Amino acid sequence: MLKIVYEDNHLLVVVKPPNLLTQGDATGDKSLFDEAKEYIKVTCQKPGDVYLGLVHRLDRPVGGLVAMARTSKAASRLSEQLRTHAMQREYLAVVHGAQIAHTGTCTDWLLDENGTVRVVQSGTPGAKEAVLNWHTLAARNNTALLHIRLETGRKHQIRVQLKNMGHPIVQDMRYGDDTPGEPIALWGAVLRLSHPTKKEDMTFLSRPQGKTFAQFDAEIDQFLNEANP
């Protein structure tokens, strides 16, 4: 069932559960985008196809906030915010290894090879620069809770860069070696944007799900309280 955080005639913000595609692919599996279009079609009683613009995506295993545009004008304006970094997406992640710097910036060059991304040397043909900033909120049981801000939006960026640092995300089945069971401990927790027509600054919050995050409940509560303007 679609979890709606915000809705009006121009903007729809929802929470994507882990292991659901953001948008349909060759697998034919259902997607968040399809569910959102069906929701609009039913609630607005539209007999034909409805317009919905997907502004950004989350990896299939990752849960969190996703913004969609209800009109083409909103899609254009939100996409421009994403391109210029006026739209800010912030993540919470639990990584292996408590001995990680309190704060820092990570810069790498990433190469996508048939869906799997790896860090390569600068100047490698096809490689793209990837930059993220992190802040450690807590460390416990040889894991650490990180607040992550992206300066670039590369495929699998957070997962690959943290693994390359020696701190893979807990339950990352592609770039780590944990036992399957729990969802990946990466969550799109904060989304900041300007409303596409009202021009009002808006902040949306989503609390991470899963047992891995549960050991950091108090720190997550504090983070979300401080993130709310």
- Structure confidence at residue 86 as a pLDDT band (50, 70, 90): very high
Pick the CATH number of 3-227 from 3.30.70.3400, 1.10.3720.10, 3.40.50.720, 3.30.2350.10: 3.30.2350.10
When pLDDT is cut at 50, 70 and 90, the band that residue 212 belongs to is very high
Q: Which amino acid is at 213?
A: F
Paired strand residues for 131: 107
Closest to 133 in 3D by CA, of 145, 146, 121: 146
Predicted pLDDT at 189: 98
Classify 28 in phi/psi space as left (phi over 0), alpha (psi -120 to 50) or beta: left
Mean pLDDT, the chain, rounded, equals: 94
* pLDDT tens by residue, 116-175: 999 999 999 999 999 999 999 999 999 999 999 999 989 999 999 999 999 999 999 999
When pLDDT is cut at 50, 70 and 90, the band that residue 59 belongs to is: very high
**Res. 103 pLDDT band, cuts 50 70 90:** very high
pLDDT at 229 over 80: no
Q: 28: pLDDT confidence band, cut at 50, 70 and 90? A: confident
Active-site annotation holder among 29, 34, 49, 59: 59
34 is catalytic: no
